[in-house]
Homo-oligomer: A and B are copies of this chain.
Amino acid sequence: MLEEISFIVGGPQGSGIETSAVVLTYAFARAGYGVLVDREYFSNIKGRHSYALFRVSSKRVPKALKYLTNMLVALDAETVFTHYKSLKDGGILVYDVGISLKKFDAIPSIEDELRSRLAKEFKDLGLDGTVESLANYLRSRKNVFVVGLDYSKVIEEFSKEASLKPHQASMYLSSIPTAAVTTLTGLRESALSFAYMRRFNDPKVVEENIKLSKVVANRVRRVYDFPPLLKNSEIGFNEVLVVSGNDVVAMGKVVGGLRYQAYYPITPAADESFTLETYSRFKVGDEYATVVVLQTEDEIAAITSAIGAALAGVRAATATSGPGFSLMVEGLGWAGMNEVPVVITYYQRGGPSTGLPTRGSQTDLLFTLFASHGEFPRIVIASGDHEEAFKDSIEIMNLTEKYQVPGIHLLDKFLANSLMTLTPPELSELRVDRGVVTEGGDNYLRFDMSKGPVSPRAFLGSNVIMYYTGDEHNEVGHISEDPINRINMYTKRMVKLELMSKEIPEDFLVRLYGDLDADVLLIGWGYVKGVALEVMDELSRGGDISCAYLHLRGFSPFPSRFVAEVLKAFEGKNVVALEHSYLAQLSKVIAMNTGFMIRKEIVKFTGRPMLVDEVLQALIKIVEGVSNREVLSLGE
C-alpha cells in the first residue's frame, strides 16, 4: 500500500474521459485524499487522444505531478501506445483485451510524428505493433502488472445486471476505467456513489454506475488479487473544494464584487465565464446580486465594453487567452490613458499565434508588461496555484481600483484546467477596497492633479458630469496638446509606478521559500511554483543539496529591492530560472529591473506541465555543471 500514487486515465476526446476525471476527483476528495489532476486534450471535439494525469496522496495535497505513474488505465489502444513509457517498473496497466490485436499504425488519430516514433521504438524492441505485444513486453520486461479486461464483455454483463438494452449499456463504457481505478486503489463505494451523484445529480445514473463498478471490480479482482494500492487518507480534511483554476477565479470574482464580465469564447478562458454565468444571480440579504456576463462579438468589444462598465462604476473584467489579449491591446491603452480600473484575466496557452490552443505555457509575461503603444502604469500579477488564483482575482480588483490603472491577472492553461482538492478559503481575511470614490461636487475634475496621482473617481451617472478621451487631456478630461499640461498629466500617471512600488506589500509581490544560504536558488512564477516547491522538498529529503525557491507573483510593480537582495545573496551559486517557455522570460524581467543576469534555466515548451521527476533530473545536471540550460520534454 502506497502513501500516494500517480496514474493516467486516457481515451478519445468526447468519450467520457473528462467525466471520469471529474468523478474520480470527487471520489478521492470524498474519501479525504489530496488530489491534483492535469487534463490534457487536443484542439478537437471528438476523437483525438485525451487523458487525465492524477496524483493522489494520503498525506497532503500534491503540488505538482510526476511523469512516472503507478497505473495506466486505457479506454482505447491509442492510450496504451501513447503512454506506455510513463508506466513505472511494477506499475499496473488496465486495458481492453478486445483491442489487443489493434496495431498502432492502424489508428488514424495518432499523429504522424508519434506514429513514426512508435514504429522505431517497437522495431527496436522487436514488437509487432499490437497492443498485445506491447502489453507482453511491459509485463515481461517492465514488471508491469497487466489487467486485461474485455470491455465488451463487461458491458454485456452489466447490461444484464442492470437490465439495460445493449446500446444503453454501452453508454457506460467510459465508466470502466473509473471503476478500475476505484477497485485498484481501494476506494470505497460510498465515495464513488457520492461522486456520481455530484456529477449527474440523478440517483438512477449513480445506481447503474455502481452496478457497472461491481462488474468491473469482480473481473479485476479475478486477475489482480493484491491489497489495494493506496493507504487510507490521513490528511484529516473536513471539507474541501473540488475546483479547477477556472472555477476558483470565477468564485474570486463573485466574492470580490465583480458585476460585469464580457468575454469572447476562447480556450482555456471560456470555462471561467461559463461558471460565472452559472452563478450570476445570487441572494445577498433580501436582494439579488446580478453579474452581467456578456458574450461579445470579439475581444475588442469584450475589453472596451468592460471599460465602459468600469466607467459606470462597476467592477468589470474580461477573461481571455493569447489571441484574445492580442486584440485587446489597443483597449488596454485607452484604459491606461484614462486611468480606468479594468481587469483582464489572462490564461496563457501555447503560442505563438494559435499555437497549441489547448496546452499550457508561460510565454506572455513580457508581452503583458509592455502591451500597447505608449507608456502607462499597469498592474501585472500572476498566480502560482489555485489558492493564489482565488485571492489574486479579488486583490487585482482592489489594486486596480485603488490606483486607477488597468490590471492583468496572468494564469495559464495548466492551472485553468487542473482539478484539485482545495481547503475552502478564509473569506474573513479578504477585503474590498474601491479606492477614492466620490459623488462629485462643485467643479469636479476627473483628472484633478492637486490630490496626487490618484484623483477621486466619480462614476458616469453620479451627480456630476465628466469627460474621458484617449487623447492627452487636461484635468477636466478635454483634449489638450499643451506641452506643459502634457508633462504634468503624463507624470501624474507614471508616478503611480513609484506609488504602487512603495505601497503594495513586498510579501504579496514576491516570496522566498527556503533559506538565503541554500546551495541552489530556483526562480519562477505562475505554474512552476508547485513543481519548484516539490523539487525543493525532494532535495531537502535527499540531503545533499539545499535549495530555495524565489516565487514572483507581481511584475508590475516589480519588487526590485527584494529580488536584488536575494540574488546578491546567491551570487556565485547556482541560480536557475524555471519557466514554461523558450526564453525564460522572467530572467529578462529581472535583468531589466535589477541588472542581474540569470544564466541558467530549465525550460519546457511542449505545452505539457513540468513534472517533478524531470525537473529534479535537470536541476541535478545543472548543479553538476553538465549544462546551463535544460529543455524538458516529458509527457504526451
Contact = CB atoms under 8 A, between A and B. Distances in A.
In order of increasing CB-CB distance, the 10 nearest A-B pairs are A351-B374, A322-B373, A352-B374, A353-B470, A354-B470, A483-B606, A113-B482, A337-B353, A326-B330, A366-B370
A515 interface: no
A112 B474 contact: yes
Which of A42, A355, A374, A479 is packed against the most chain B CB atoms within 10 Å? A374
A512 interface: no
A360 interface: no
A224 interface: no
A481 B337 contact: no
13 contacts: A112-B474, A112-B480, A113-B480, A113-B482, A327-B329, A329-B329, A337-B354, A350-B486, A355-B373, A483-B633, A486-B606, A487-B633, A594-B597
Specify how many copies of this chain sit in the oligomer: 2
A358 B592 CA distance: 31
Interface in A438-491: 469-472, 474, 479-487, 490-491
Contacts of A200: none
B374 A361 contact: yes
A224 B359 CA distance: 77
A114 interface: yes
Interface in A323-350: 323, 325-327, 329-330, 333-334, 336-338, 348, 350
Contacts of A371: 329, 367, 370-371
Given A352-B375, A374-B355, A330 B327 contact: yes
Interface residues of A, number: 80
A472 B117 contact: no
Contact of A607 (B114, B479, B483): B483
Contacts of A356: 471-472, 481, 486
Contact of A353 (B117, B366, B374, B596): B374
A494 interface: yes
Contacts of A372: 326, 351-353, 367
Interface in A92-123: 111-114, 117
A150 interface: no
Contacts of A607: 481, 483, 486
A395 interface: no
Given A114-B482, A330-B327, A485-B113, A582 B494 contact: yes
B326 A353 contact: no
A5 to B, nearest CB: 24
A607 B472 CA distance: 11
A357 interface: yes
Contacts of A327: 327, 329-330
A108 B530 CA distance: 63
A245 interface: no
Contacts of A474: 112-113
Nearest to A42: B481
